[in-house]
Chain A
Amino acid sequence: MASTDCVQHRSSTWLSYFLLYDASKVKGECDLTRDGIKYFHPPQPQERGGSEAALSNRIRGERLEPPCRDTRETDIDQQELLCGQVAGVVRCMTEIISSPPTLIRLRKLKFAIRIHGDFLWALGCSMEVTDISCKKYLDDLIGLFRFYNGPLWRAYKVHPHQELSDDWRIYLEYLQRITTDLSRIFHSLNHVDKTKVDPLLLLKATLILQTCQRFPHVFAGCILYNDRVVSTQLPPPLTSKILVERIYAYRRPPSLLNNFSDDPVLPDGVRLLEVFVKEQDAKSLCQYPVQWTTRVSSDVSGITSSMSPELEIHPSQSVSESTLEKENENTAIPQIKVQGNAEGTGAPVTSEDLDVGGIATDMALHIPTSGVPVHSSSPVKVLNRHDLMVDQGRITRTSPEIRSTDIHEAGISLPSTGSVVACVSTFEMDKQSFDSESSTSEDSQVSFRHQPVEACPSISTPVPVEEHAKGVHHSEVIQRTENIGALGDHTEGYLELRSNNTDNSVVFSESTDLNLSIKSSTDTDWTLTLDSSPPVSSSKLVKLTLYVHNVKGLVLSLLAGMHFKYEKGLVQDVYDGTLAALNGLEVHLKETMPPNSHNSVTKTAYSFTHYDFIQNILTANLPSSSSAHDLLFLRAASLINTDFNLYPSLKEITVSSHTGTFLHSTLQVAHSSRSQHLLSATTRNASSALYACQSTVHQTYFQQLAPPNRNSGYPDPQDSAFHLPSKAKQKLLKHGFNLL
């Protein structure tokens, strides 16, 4: 671990490295590491002329000078070094703690790690990227690959490697293209500006989608205009994958594109692709198409409502089949904690508690028993809430209304420092270790996490229940959905088992993504967890047909069954049934939103960012080219966002700065008094301040750019920082956001 601590990178780019490594190719002493490198970004010099920083590694004490310092290329030797090191660290960790790390943090770089059989992915991001985002992006990339190329092992058998490398490159470029500073924080999808579009047009888009659902085999779809979502019936993870479709289609030669659709007479502008959707997604698409429709009465409600079908589906599923498999589609309620009864404060939980607003959430069930820790391989069905019985435990549901306040009531002490070492409570430790900002002293720390699959060989159980018991005083099972937000479509449900009793074998499980994911957009990824063996993982992907019809930038995408393309005339019917409306919608949208009118952000005396979890819409008045002030704003927003996610009970934060840098310590101060719901920590001598507030449906950040600053040096109600909240509320009303 310590040997790779000097990987330099250019700070101008947040994404430094991406690699896919096949360990099965490198077994013996004489095997070359390069044989195992399936894909490496930045590529070799001869593959691509690049522009930027190179790699400089100090490995095993010897310093390697990059051959060409200012190109985004990686010499094969350095590729080998990095791959070898990463693989080595992962292997080492796995042997020590019997589970691979999911994140390796170096001094200037962090690597998100994913393992699937012999395959290893690593995504190297700069330190500005939060751990959560780093891992999320890796999952996004893997999710994109799986969506268009199918399971990895199959893809590398079926397709030429060069082609797949091109695909990886496309996904990487896409990921870098779509992620703005803000979207990195919130993981939102790009929507059309709904304040500018006539709601009737959104309704029209929705009606087009509903019309399509009347055709056989068509499940659901979405409508995009210039890569922005106009209306979608799909959950954000799927929608985000379709967003990439245009690039994908553009890059690939047509012959390869439609290699499965031998139908030569596709209507103009229409293409059919085969895509791979997780079984559960597909099932929910198939089973309740009409319900999806009725729920998604307009795009505004689309995203949330489209999550719900899961709920109806799950209870009907058999235990053996889906068990805890749950897609947490709801952004607001992603996490359920089941705590051991040591806390003793909770009331018994009935199944109703888990069923809030008709929205399924990830659930975990922890049943404290006495005995040796047992990793149950038998799936526990929690899907049917009425069956849920947790004896001697309590379930704290962090619902929107009561999010995590219960935890505090339960008496878990929370640390006031960011250092992991300082953490006393396991609950906190769990979270703190992922707070990249705060754990400065732990920079080189490798977070070890237990992947449930490891513990739980039953592959059909995506969210295995670990029964863990012996002497655990407060054991918490925290099941989380790893949210991949805007891009990923993996849902990884975990069961997290924690204990602060050091005598016990502490099982760490993966939990990092708790936060951003919760709010961000909702994804879930159970496949990766399932992927421990290729055949199984592949069976979890369902092949579907993606119908794509592009009308001058207005793209109708429909997910349909594989029979869709075989049924005679069906494609033509869908085309005929939608063309007129798409033509019309396109001219309407072109009239209201000229394609190049995005960047007309009028600069005001304040910056704000408002993220709506429910609609997955981000509103901000920051121009795309960030000024120094905007960067400061982003930095502060990023920090606070992390904190908000860690401490959902925080409602408001005001941070101040006099050095031009927002001090994270301010936030830490805030945490220490987090028993309050309303919290406002203000440092003195501040020259600029940022106000942030959150609720279950939004996070809002506000900063006055030219504040009439008044600072008395002591807590004075006249100080400008104290007026910031009311100022924010007043200003944001003008943008249609009511924070009152």
Chain B
Amino acid sequence: MTAKSSLLKVILLGDGGVGKSSLMNRYVTNKFDTQLFHTIGVEFLNKELEVDNHSVTMQIWDTAGQERFRSLRTPFYRGSDCCLLTFSVDDSQSFQNLNNWKKEFIYYADVKDPDSFPFVVLGNKIDILERQVSEEEAQAWCRNNGNHPYFETSAKDATNVPAAFEDAVRRVLAIEDRTDQLIHTDMVNLNRKPKPSSSCC
């Protein structure tokens, strides 16, 4: 891999009100707005960053969590390189729905190999003291559902937000490296064959 800038599509999924938009805004603009409207459909922001000498443009897609916006958001799942499953630590329901979000994503994004697709789990709003979901619970769920990395974040306090997104990028790059190698070996074979034939003519 050279240092060329590549575009990575990262999508935030999770129940309405868990703080997906706030996480995105905190990460990209470093601002926090307590009065955000519900997201309708999808929104996205680009963020350029450098991870392990890779300059990357991360396109963060923020989605509407409410069920009624499902038809607007699902067409945009396709082409995602990484999915950030988000819940709020003060809302156990949002935690329990992670399974559904994962299923919905796999279905609509048409993920070929769900087991190797990079999911990252974010437990947001850790600034709130009355937690309904403990860190252990969340860790356990991640272990049991494909060994996803887990980050506890607070968009309000700017806790751990960049770390979570950067980790997502790292995982995507890691997978791309692997597939790049796979593709390379294939490509070599395919390309070599036609070359002699074309030069013959």
Contact = CB atoms under 8 A, between A and B. Distances in A.
Contacts of A576: 25, 28-29, 31
Contacts of A201: 40-41, 72
B45 A580 contact: yes
Contacts of B31: 573, 576-577
Contacts of B39: 581, 584
B44 interface: yes
Contact of A200 (B29, B35, B40, B76): B40
Given A200-B72, A576-B25, A588 B41 contact: yes
Interface string A601-615: 000000000000000
Interface string B1-44: 00000000000000000000100110011010101010111111
B41 A204 contact: yes
A203 interface: yes
Contacts of A207: 37, 40
B42 to A, nearest CB: 5
A204 B40 contact: yes
A19 to B, nearest CB: 49
14 contacts: A207-B40, A214-B35, A580-B21, A580-B28, A580-B62, A581-B39, A581-B43, A583-B43, A583-B44, A583-B45, A584-B43, A584-B44, A585-B41, A588-B41
Contacts of A591: 75
Nearest to A588: B41
Given A577-B33, A580-B25, A591-B75, A200 B43 contact: no
B75 to A, nearest CB: 7
Interface centre among B35, B41, B44, B75 (most CB of A within 10 A): B41
B189 to A, nearest CB: 38
A214 B33 CA distance: 11
B40 A203 contact: yes
Chain A, interface size category, equals 20 to 34
B31 to A, nearest CB: 6
A200 B28 CA distance: 26
7 tightest Cβ-Cβ pairs between the two chains A and B: A584-B43, A580-B43, A204-B40, A576-B29, A207-B37, A580-B45, A584-B42
A356 interface: no
A580 B40 contact: no
Nearest to B29: A576
B69 interface: yes
A579 interface: yes
A573 B69 CA distance: 27
Contacts of B62: 580, 584
A588 B63 CA distance: 12
A164 to B, nearest CB: 39
A581 B29 CA distance: 14
A697 interface: no
Contact of B69 (A200, A214, A587): A200
Interface in A289-309: none
A353 interface: no
Contacts of A3: none
Interface string A547-587: 00000000000000000000000000100110111011101
Contacts of A583: 43-45
B134 to A, nearest CB: 32
Interface string B92-113: 0000000000000000000000
Nearest to B42: A584
A179 B162 CA distance: 51
A211 interface: yes
A576 to B, nearest CB: 4
Given A214-B35, A576-B31, A588 B45 contact: no
A211 B24 contact: no
A8 to B, nearest CB: 55
Contacts of A321: none
Chain B, interface size category, equals 20 to 34
Contacts of A65: none
Interface string B60-78: 0010000001001001100
Interface in A25-64: none
A588 B72 contact: yes
B41 A579 contact: no
Contacts of A573: 31
Contact of B42 (A203, A211, A577, A587): A587
Contacts of B69: 200
B45 A200 contact: no
A312 B62 CA distance: 39
A583 B60 CA distance: 11
A581 B37 CA distance: 10
Interface in A193-235: 198, 200-201, 203-204, 207, 210-211, 214
Nearest to A205: B40
Nearest to A583: B44
B41 A211 contact: no
B34 to A, nearest CB: 11
A360 B21 CA distance: 40
A198 B72 CA distance: 9
A207 B39 CA distance: 10
Contacts of A587: 42, 44, 76
Contacts of A584: 39-44, 62
Nearest to B24: A580
Interface centre among A198, A200, A583, A584 (most CB of B within 10 A): A584
Interface in A246-281: none
Contacts of B40: 200-201, 203-204, 207, 584
Interface in B42-61: 42-45
B59 to A, nearest CB: 9
A579 B45 CA distance: 7
Given A200-B69, A580-B45, A587-B44, 6 more contacts: A207-B37, A576-B29, A580-B24, A580-B25, A580-B28, A585-B41
Contacts of A577: 31, 33
A211 B37 contact: yes
A528 B41 CA distance: 45
A294 to B, nearest CB: 14
A580 B28 CA distance: 10
Contacts of B24: 580
Contacts of A210: 37
A580 B44 contact: yes
Contacts of B75: 591
Contacts of A204: 40-41
Contacts of B43: 580-581, 583-584
Nearest to A214: B35
A120 B123 CA distance: 69
A543 B76 CA distance: 42
A587 B46 CA distance: 14
A394 to B, nearest CB: 49
Nearest to B60: A580
A83 to B, nearest CB: 54
Contacts of B35: 214
A588 B37 contact: no
A584 B44 CA distance: 6
A108 B70 CA distance: 59
A583 B28 CA distance: 14
Nearest to B59: A583
B107 to A, nearest CB: 19
A479 B39 CA distance: 46
Interface string B169-185: 00000000000000000
